[in-house]
Amino acid sequence: MFWTLLRDVSQCSFVRTCFTWAFGFFGDQVDLRGVLNMPRARRRNHSRSRSRSESYDRDVKRRRVDSQESPYHKNSYSSERAQRSRQHERGTSAERRYKRSHRRSPTSTHRRRHHHRHHGHAHRHRDGPDHSRRSYSSSQSSRAPSVEDDDDGHLIYRHGGVLQDRYKILATLGEGTFGKVVKVKDLHTDEIMALKIIKNVEKYREAAKLEINALEKIAEKDPEGKHLCVKMLDWFDYHGHMCIAFEMLGLSVFDFLKDNSYQPYPLDAVRHIAYQLCFAVKFLHDNKLTHTDLKPENILFVDSDYDISYSSKKRRDIRHIKRTDVRLIDFGSATFDHEHHSTIVSTRHYRAREVILELGWAQPCDVWSIGCIIFELYLGITLFQTHDNREHLAMMERILGPIPYRMARKTKTKYFYHGKLDWDSNSTAGRYVRDYCKPLMRYLNTNEEDYRQLFDLIRRMLDYEPSSRITLAESLRHPFFDKIPPHQRLGDFHASGDDSRERSHSLSR
């Protein structure tokens, strides 16, 4: 009765004006008719549910931090990884290191246009990059009137636009949580490059600075790029957007696999890609650096051109990569030995056992990731397809055997009970693990020696104990790589007494 009377009274413009003024004075403006006409139960919970919804939206935005992708290739991003359930539920270790050292909120990412005068940058007349005399904050003090960011902090640009009076934007290559990657032409050299434009958000800007530092140290030790790490050609700060220029490369080994309907790579291609990956990461390990985010998306073909043949068995065309030369990318999570080691690193599916159990990690966690990658290249499927720690550990036990009692007792996580994994094998998840996974050697479909050597290498890379896990120097001397042809060899690891545990040079100096 009361609400009916109030609704009738509200139709009077004078009364409605008074109500609006009163509510506007004491709080936010409200739609009186909307409140009066809503059902009683909703009326009671209106303000409470609205605040709950806003809080949820904020929480979702905070949690939406994926492991950053690095598409320095010629094709745009795809949602296929999401369809395969490869969700990256962590931030990068670089971001977490930044958060620990800077206890403050990220800068606002709302749309903004700056009207103060543009003082520009000191233009560098040179043919090659010069990193030594630049400051990270060199261009944050002024901003051109035409420079604008979108609501997420991405730089708003147009094709044909020029950054730094030098880099002409030709196309967009991809987008990730960190920012965007665009194809650019260097107007000084006519060279085509991939330019990574980081969001104008403080945490991503600081993470980019850490990546730049790692890439500069790598370039100092390997100026000619002989160790197959992507070349950083230039970097600059464009009005709060850290920009990193890279050599243009082809598709990632994952994108090529996806575009080929997950047709596995031939054994010779698996051998060459794995060999190069071990060689590149060994260089990092020898210089006291751990990559921490090795995955097929971060291994790019130098040239992803291919031939096509028709498969009568598959009843479709199959792509065959012409060149299997690759480069390692994405050093945004790379960590030096002397730096703080975040508790959790690596993208879920390539995360080592010691990382999940929070027992500390070092270079051997990269070796575990490589073992998972080699398996995926050979079979076209992910070895550990899960998003849950307990289920991940159950898969490990199903594929690799029980986790040793002494290791289970070390962890402070709650996944074990009296030294055994607390896991119900008769549950829905338990049946999934039992049906989806099988002991490692049962994935081997032939008794040919080459394939047996491949699985022996994978098994040794997936050793539970980091101290007994095969090193990359030992991996390069493994019989599986004996058939690498002379023109593809990157060093004589069979004859040398090299041991990756004895590292004489450091990138961190």
Which residues are catalytic, by number?
293
Q: How many helices (H) and strands (E) does the chain have?
A: 16, 17
Spatial distance between the Cα atoms of 90 and 346, rounded to a whole number of angstroms:
8
For 58, counting Cβ atoms within 10 Å of its Cβ (0-12 exposed, 13-18 middle, 19+ buried), the class is: exposed
Q: In sequence order, what are the residues at sequence separation of 6 or more whose Cβ sits closer than 8 angstroms to the Cβ of residue 276? A: 228, 325, 326, 490
Query: Please, what's the b/e burial string for 119-136 (b: 16 or more CB within 10 A of its CB; e: otherwise)?
Result: eebeeeeeeebeeeebee
The per-residue DSSP string of 119-148 comes to: --------SS---TT--TTTTSS---TT-E
446 in the Ramachandran plot: left (φ > 0), alpha (ψ -120 to 50) or beta?
beta
Question: Scanning the structure block, which residue is given the tokens 């957007």?
Answer: 241
Which residue spans within 74-119 are E strands per DSSP? 112-113
Asked if 195 contacts 71 with a C-beta cutoff of 8 angstroms, the reply is no
For 88, counting Cβ atoms within 10 Å of its Cβ (0-12 exposed, 13-18 middle, 19+ buried), the class is: buried
Spatial distance between the Cα atoms of 256 and 248, rounded to a whole number of angstroms:
16
The reply, when asked if residue 168 is annotated as ligand binding, is: no
Query: Please, what's the b/e burial string for 150-159 (b: 16 or more CB within 10 A of its CB; e: otherwise)?
Result: eeebbbebee
Other CB atoms within 10 Å distance of the CB of residue 102:
12
Spatial distance between the Cα atoms of 243 and 162, rounded to a whole number of angstroms:
13
**Binding site, annotated residues for ATP:** 196
**Binding site, annotated residues:** 196
